[in-house]
Each structure stands twice: as C-alpha cells, then as structure tokens.
Amino acid sequence: MRHRPHRSPSQALAAVLVAGSLLLAGCSGGDEEPASSETAAPSEPTASETTEPPEPTYWPLTGLERTGKAPKHPVIVTKVDNTSSSAPQVGLGSADLVVEELVEGGYTRLAAFYYSKVPASIGPVRSMRASDIGIVPDGATVVTSGAAPITVKRINGAGIPWLTEGDAGVYRETSRSAPYNLFARLGDIAKRLKAEEEPPPYLPWGTPSDLPRGGKARTLTADFGAHSTSWQFQKGGYVNTDSYAAQGDQFPADSVLVLRVRVGDAGYRDPAGYPVPETKLEGKGAALLFHGGRVVRGTWSKDGLKGPIELSTKQGELTVPAGRVWVELVPAATGNVTFAK
C-alpha cells in the first residue's frame, strides 16, 4: 500500500487559506474570466466556411481545366497552307486544336484554332473554303488570304467575320515567295477583337478512363488523295511524321480524331482548273478516335453545319479525353485511313 506524504500544521493552514481565497473569488462580483472553449456555446459558421467552392471552368477547345478568367478575344481560326511550299509553317505549336480539310487536287489545308494561347505570328495564311462554314464555331473570327467571290458570299451569309490582307496585323513576309508569304500577327489582332460571350465546347470532352478499351494502334495515316498525314504515338502523344511545321513548332496532339465525311462540289474551279471540293460537316458518319496508342471505333453526328459534333459507340456516348486534338476530315468515298500496332 502506498502512503500519502505527511503535512505539517503550517502546510495544512496554508492550504485552507488558499481554498478560502478561491471560494471568495468565485463569489466576487468583479471581472469574470470568459468561459472556456469547452463550455462555450458553438459559434455560427462564417460565410467563408459555408460557401461552396466555385465550379471549375474548362477551355472550350481542349476541355482542360482553366484557372482565371476567359480571354476577352474570340476564338481565332487561321487558314494555313499545308503543302511543301509552306515549310516552315509558323505558329502551329501554339494552337489549341487543328482541323485538316480537303481542298482541290487532293491536297489539304489547315484550320488552326487559337484561344487559350495566341502566338506572335502564324502562317503562311491561305484562303477560305465553303467547307469552313461547318468547321468554324459560332463567334469565331477567321484570318485568311481571302476567297473566291462565291465563297465570300457564302461565308458572309453564314455570319462569319474574317480578316485578310489590308487589315491591321496581316502582312507579307519579304523572305518568302508569294502566295506563301502572307502572315498574321495574331497577338496584335487578338488585342483588337472582343468576344460577346465565351464559346461552347468544340468537342464532347471527357477523360481517358471514360474510353472503351479499343484496339492497339500506334501509327495511323489519313490519306486525302494527293496528300496524306501520318502519325506515330510517342511518349504519350502523337507526332506528325510528315509535318511542314518549323522545328519545335509542331502541333503536340494528345489525340487524333478522324471523321469520315461527305464531300461535294463547291460549284467553281480554282485558277489551275481543278474543281473545288466542299466538305459537308453535317449529318453523320464513321469516326475513329486515337488516344494512348489505341483506337476506338464509333460514329459522329452533327445537326446542320452549325450544330455541335457528337460522338458515340454502340455502348453510348463517346467523349474525347481533354487535351489538344488534331481532327482529320477524311473523305468517305475517296479518302482512306490506315493504322497499325
């Protein structure tokens, strides 16, 4: 058994006096100590504690999450030459999204989309086609070298604003030969353009985990006739192995989306006498989505030229993993798409 320590009479008296003073203090009408946090009534939560975090916002052309406010300028679509005469192409590496479309003679032209980032210069800038009515999103401005009168009339009728040579920021590069020497200072142009509202998503965006498994496909080629564009899956992305872009300025594709499209006659011929084709980006057709070294087969649909692009498989909706996408509009009747493991 443990014994308590023995107290002397003086120690006992001191203890009594201390206890008495504490009792008097508790009965005193003087200043009171605030109640301890253990016994205090719970305080109401502050506004910052009850406010829900803001909903995340996303870039419309990539589906990636955006921090900060949207740009004040609209989407700027620049028509870029895609023949060997265009080398080196400038500014493709800054594009959010690129659409490759058929032009006369079996060659192709690029529609490069800029919104989240605008390069200082882009080019060589070439002419529009009626195909662009179904490609250019609402509210966007097109930078172009112009177009045939019949195309200009249709572009204007579709309400698409455009800039060309003679407008501020569009200039001739003296070190190159015409017609491959028209360039645009997109940085300066963007400062003068004002968007009425933020654009909607260009594609149905999702995540890689949303994709069906698909089959292996580490290489692919989109054949348009006189021109073909080939891709290899390398280090998590797709590299255009026959690009005309300047070194270090190639478009870094996270995905390649192939849409098989119907092509008609635009109703006129180019200066060389070739009939000008018109891609009909409306209706529906077969789709191939290449991502992560695999391919998913599906279908695309679009309600009219200005409707959104929708994708699906037999299992339901198909979404494109957020990132930078190159869209190949390959003719269903005369074009071809091949891919391999």
pLDDT score, position 51: 76
What residues make up the domain containing 102? 65-340
Tell me whether residue 125 is in a domain.
yes
Q: Is the pLDDT of residue 45 over 90?
A: no
- What φ, ψ does residue 73 adopt, rounded to 5°? -90, 160
Residue 58 lies in a domain: no
Task: Grade residue 13 by pLDDT with cuts at 50, 70 and 90.
Answer: very low
The answer to whether residue 249 sits within a structural domain is yes
174 occurs within a structural domain = yes
Q: Give the mean pLDDT of 302-313.
A: 97
At 168, which amino acid appears? A
264 lies in some domain: yes
CB atoms within 10 A of CB 301: 15
Mean pLDDT for the chain?
89
CATH number of the domain within which 70 lies: 3.50.90.10
The answer to whether residue 77 is domain-embedded is yes
**Helical H segments across 234-306, by residue range:** none
Question: Going by DSSP bridges, is the β-strand pair 76-81/141-143 parallel, antiparallel, or unpaired?
Answer: parallel
3-state secondary structure 93-149: HHCCEEEEEECHHHCEEEEEEECCCCCCCEECECCCCCCHHHHCCCCCEEECCCCCH
Confidence of residue 272 (pLDDT cuts 50, 70, 90): confident
Q: Label residue 43 by pLDDT band (50, 70, 90).
A: low
Predicted confidence at residue 44, as pLDDT, reads 59
Domain count, the chain: 1
What's the pTM?
Answer: 0.84
Q: Please state whether the peptide bond connecting residue 308 to the residue before it is cis, i.e. omega within 30 degrees of 0.
A: no
| Strand bridging mode 170-172 / 182-184 | antiparallel
pLDDT value, residue 234: 97
DSSP string, 156-208: HHTT--EE-BTBTTEEE-TTS-TTTTEEE-HHHHHHH---SSPPPPSS-EE-G
pLDDT at residue 153 greater than cutoff 70: yes
